[in-house]
Chains A and B, each alone.
Chain A
Amino acid sequence: NAGVTQTPKFQVLKTGQSMTLQCAQDMNHEYMSWYRQDPGMGLRLIHYSVGAGITDQGEVPNGYNVSRSTTEDFPLRLLSAAPSQTSVYFCASSPTSTGGGYTFGSGTRLTVV
């Protein structure tokens, strides 16, 4: 049981490049979400999904897209990377949208130069 798997663990991008951060869970969780963590600002929700085919915006969605074509996968796309998107990104899942504890992936450290 792998839990939540995030790839890559580290990435350096040039300004304007695009990329996709991958997130997969094998626990049949309904709810998946993406956070970014910046020093002094805690965890901020980017996008979330309550099930396959359903996504919604969090606190800081600008510059990011998501899709949820399967229960297992929830990729995060950076459309045109900016230095302000330098951060650590975490994917998390929980059994339902209303209850249960979150399981986090190991994170992706992204630097945009």
Chain B
Amino acid sequence: EPEVTQTPSHQVTQMGQEVILRCVPISNHLYFYWYRQILGQKVEFLVSFYNNEISEKSEIFDDQFSVERPDGSNFTLKIRSTKLEDSAMYFCASSEGTSNQPQHFGDGTRLSIL
């Protein structure tokens, strides 16, 4: 069964450094997403991406965040200057369509900011 893959599985970074989290969505999917989950809290939406542009973003997704689809397969999340509160599990997801289509999640990148 096709799956969403994410790398790395765990990223440890010093506060203030830039990080790039990588995702390879399912190949025939057109919509891509990033979510995060702070330990003990619920999964929160960050951003959705379609047709090479952001289609929606949450209030969490401020100027420190950016997303990119640099080629036909990768989808990246960049955090420019990390803060301690950015420590969380980051999940990439993809779907064939939007709204009523289920989203399939990668197994996540655990980001630890020191």
Co-complex (A, B): no
What is the interface of chain A, defined by CB distance below 8 A to chain B?
none
